[in-house]
Structure 1
Amino acid sequence: METSEIKDKDFIVFGLQPWDIPIGSNCKNIAAELSKYNRVLYVNRPLDRMSYHRGSKDIQTRNRIAAIRRGENVLTEIKSNLWVFNPGKMLESINMLPAGFLYNFLNKRNNKLLAGEISKASKQLGFTDPILFVDNDFFNALYLKDFLQPQLFIFYIRDYLRSQQYFGKHGKRAEPLIMKKADGVAANSAYLARYASQFNTNVADVGQGCEVEDFLEFTGPKPNDISAIPYPIIGYVGSITSTRLDINLLEEIAASRSDWNIVLVGPTDTQFEQSKLVQMSNVHFLGAKSQQELASYVHAFDVCINPQLLNQMTIGNYPRKVDEYLAAGKPVVATRTETMEMFGTNAFLCNGAPEYVEAIEKALNEQHDPQKVKARIAMGAAHTWKASVDQIYHLIKKTQHGRGTG
């Protein structure tokens, strides 16, 4: 019987999220799964000139500057078969330019510089005939297929970035172009797969993965900053940003049930920091936590929520946190979207504060129901990174078969 995995190949993985990002990343998880059977070069997003002159002190900027100036940590072996690469070139900041000749010229030049750096690293590792896997970056990767000439080019879409102002300016042209260039497109939701199918006939919904083991196997104590918060705790983990979460919805829920404690775990944006939520005694912002700490917080929640703001960015989004919640056996209350419908048998799907309040009350009443806990865990546990990457392998094999390669 043919195995699902592809083995003993070379993969170049590049995307928007660098390896040293402090939050969870689909691209990192996919690269780690690929490296179980293949050699993987994970390329960090290069530093651009504007970010350099801003003088940011974050770890990502410091690492890129060290690579450019001093040649430090340029190529690092993270584990067997997996290397992280910091390109030694700085790219021009061009997003402020209008569409036209100058933007196209500089973007192609940026791509050529990046491709040259990637080629040097892949040659150093002895890579031959690699497969290029690009996560969502339709600017810096637009011409990588042309310059690198990989065996195959797979584009991975996990967000509708064109809806954001920054990405939309040039992305409305660039994203369709890169998907047309790709030999195959992998999407993490059915909604995004349908969208990608406008531009490429070889599209696969590969689903979403989750590091379920962390949430299934956690047996540790409650974190100190949540242990003093009384029952019931209605919790959320993830980026707390106004482009993805509904501030008004959270304010209404907290105001209507002052006996509930709303706990939000993750980095916050300015809009949340300036919202009424920070003044509410039953709302607790616990700040950003490492990926390794998240399971301890989820297990401390009584009910887990995903109060998404409905917009073009979120409507087709697959929220990986829902799998984490379910793998921990926790009841889930979430905003109803097309992607969330697949969770309907194990989650309460809502629109608006009244439905949320009613659903949270029901969820609290059944949080310890053994049959429901078992069903939730089973659903969350099924959505592993192995299962998602197996679908990527299937897309690659299908593409190779169609081209008569292997």
Structure 2
Amino acid sequence: MKNRDFIITSLQPWDIEIGSTIKNTALEISKTNRVLYINTPMDYSTRFRGNKNAAWKHRMDVVKKRVSPIRQINERMWVADCPFCVFPVGGLPTACLFDTVNRINNKMIADYICKVASRFGFTDYIHLIDTDIYRSQYLKEYIKPALSIYYCRDFVIGQPYWKKNGARLEAMLAAKLDIVLTNSTQFAIRFKKYNLNTFPIETGVNLELYDARKKWEVPEDLKHIPSPIIGYVGSVIALRLDCNLLMDVAQSRSQYNFVFIGPEDETFSNHPLHRLPNVYFLGKKRVETLPAYITGCDVCINPQIINDITDGNYPLKVDEYLAMGKPIVATSTHTMRDIFAEYAYLPANTEEYLQALDAALKECGDKNKEEQRIRFAHTHSWQHSVQKIYNIIEQFQAF
């Protein structure tokens, strides 16, 4: 697909510091099409009580008109920061009040989108909504795109903030749009109830960054940890990871060293895992250094706890592990069984985890299996992922 205009509204701000499916998707689309990425606006509670990080400071500069709200990312792509704040809706007591205020927010965002789209001459544009259940709820009727797509790539309605209104509004949003995309077959089954034009697609991996053929220097804080190293790279949060399983496994395999690379939540920060001599928490690292950390691991793990949020979620980190050629042990979720079963050990309990780790370590140095993993990861490039989106759009518009 070439020379189309895309407008993207996302739950995820452009300035997020970790790897991002929607950012990589947007960048891939912009190779042959024009893209306008609308940075979700701050609400007033975030303005006054939010994390005063660099992204917050930039948004405040935009709101106070100190800097331009438009940033050009490449020849065909722009990010537009909303030069205003919206009203917080999460704590509103009734659905009626929520819908009223949320519609006001949507109208402000829509007016701004139309203004920027007109400035750049965007016409007949495709609107891609990335898991933005609230602030994109009414945009189809306000901005009138040529085609509207909802992209669900996480079970956000299982999280506390979304439980009150999320399920209701996500179903409404999916039903009114033209196409629904999901990043797992489990999610697709759920959305088929609301929209028959629902299609599962697999996300991509940044193969320019996660390149096993480059020479990566193992970072200093990993060098001193003896092998075998069982590594996890990503956010270390109890909502997604099974801390009790990890405790049992680490105690049962005291000869293995377990290393966690990523920011911890409060549960993990205070967990007894920190007192085990064979467990290391190295903290948050820059994205561009993560392949080096993966290189220093013997086996990579994704020890998810099974819940509505994790079972159908697409684990991008597994593609990153595979792209680096590493043996993988990951909890047997629906998506892992559906997509990665041939390339990872998929235990379902502590005993199976122990056996899987033992078996995976025996594969270290097996160049044939390493190449098989890398080749499979390369079938999940962002080019392949976005081409599936193009194919679905073209198929829909053909009828």
TM-score (norm 1): 0.96
Counterpart CA distance in 2 for 1:50 and 1:399 is 40
Counterpart CA distance in 2 for 1:181 and 1:289 is 40
SS of the residue aligned with 1:132?
strand
1:213 is aligned, of 208, 226, 233, to 208
Correspondence for 1:308: 304
**Does 1:359 find its partner at 2:348?**
no
Correspondence for 1:78: 73
Correspondence for 1:118: 113
Residues 360-399 of structure 1: pairs in structure 2 closer than 5 A? 360-399=357-396
Is the Cα contact below 8 Å between 2:150 and 2:181 reproduced in 1? yes
SS of the residue aligned with 1:349?
coil
**CA RMSD, Structure 1 to Structure 2 (Å):** 1.1
Is the Cα contact below 8 Å between 2:216 and 2:291 reproduced in 1? no
Counterpart CA distance in 1 for 2:126 and 2:341 is 37
Counterpart CA distance in 1 for 2:228 and 2:95 is 56
Correspondence for 1:195: 190
Counterpart CA distance in 2 for 1:43 and 1:135 is 11
Residues 89-100 of structure 1: pairs in structure 2 closer than 5 A? 89-100=84-95
Correspondence for 1:88: 83
Counterpart CA distance in 2 for 1:139 and 1:218 is 42
Counterpart CA distance in 2 for 1:15 and 1:55 is 19
Is the Cα contact below 8 Å between 1:302 and 1:331 reproduced in 2? yes
Deviation at 1:71, TM superposition (A): 4.4
1:45 is aligned, of 40, 58, 61, to 40
1:336 is aligned, of 327, 332, 338, to 332
Amino acid at match of 1:316: G
**Does 1:249 find its partner at 2:277?**
no
Amino acid at match of 2:269: E
2:28 is aligned, of 26, 29, 33, to 33
1:157 is aligned, of 148, 152, 161, to 152
Amino acid at match of 1:371: N
Is the Cα contact below 8 Å between 2:9 and 2:37 reproduced in 1? yes
Counterpart CA distance in 2 for 1:199 and 1:55 is 35
Correspondence for 1:182: 177
**Does 1:57 find its partner at 2:52?**
yes
Is the Cα contact below 8 Å between 2:204 and 2:382 reproduced in 1? yes
Moved over 3 A (4+): none
Deviation at 1:73, TM superposition (A): 3.8
SS of the residue aligned with 1:248?
helix
Counterpart CA distance in 1 for 2:354 and 2:271 is 20
Amino acid at match of 2:312: G
TM-score (norm 2): 0.97
Q: Deviations over 1:187-226 (max 9, x none)?
A: 1111111111111010111112111232224312111111
Deviation at 1:55, TM superposition (A): 4.5
**Does 1:285 find its partner at 2:275?**
no
Larger mean CA deviation between 66-75 and 299-308 belongs to: 66-75
SS of the residue aligned with 1:236?
strand
Deviation at 1:366, TM superposition (A): 1.1
Counterpart CA distance in 2 for 1:102 and 1:364 is 56
Unaligned runs of 5+ in 2: none
SS of the residue aligned with 1:13?
strand
Is the Cα contact below 8 Å between 2:347 and 2:356 reproduced in 1? yes
Amino acid at match of 1:381: H
Amino acid at match of 2:178: D
**Does 1:259 find its partner at 2:255?**
yes
Unaligned runs of 5+ in 1: 1-5
Is the Cα contact below 8 Å between 1:63 and 1:73 reproduced in 2? no
Counterpart CA distance in 2 for 1:189 and 1:291 is 25
How many percent of aligned residue pairs carry the same amino acid?
Answer: 41
Correspondence for 1:146: 141
Residues 270-281 of structure 1: pairs in structure 2 closer than 5 A? 270-281=266-277
Counterpart CA distance in 1 for 2:143 and 2:197 is 21
Is the Cα contact below 8 Å between 2:65 and 2:83 reproduced in 1? no
Is the Cα contact below 8 Å between 1:211 and 1:384 reproduced in 2? yes
2:19 is aligned, of 24, 27, 35, to 24
Q: Deviations over 1:320-347 (max 9, x none)?
A: 1111111111000000011111211111
Correspondence for 1:3: none
Amino acid at match of 1:395: I
Amino acid at match of 2:77: L
* Number of residue pairs the alignment of both structures matches: 397
Amino acid at match of 1:400: Q
Amino acid at match of 1:362: A
Counterpart CA distance in 2 for 1:324 and 1:276 is 29
Q: Deviations over 1:323-378 (max 9, x none)?
A: 11111110000000111112111110001221111111111111211221121111
**Does 1:325 find its partner at 2:321?**
yes
2:224 is aligned, of 204, 213, 228, to 228
Residue 376 and residue 393 in structure 1: after superposition, are their counterparts in 2 closer, same or farther (change >3 A)?
A: same
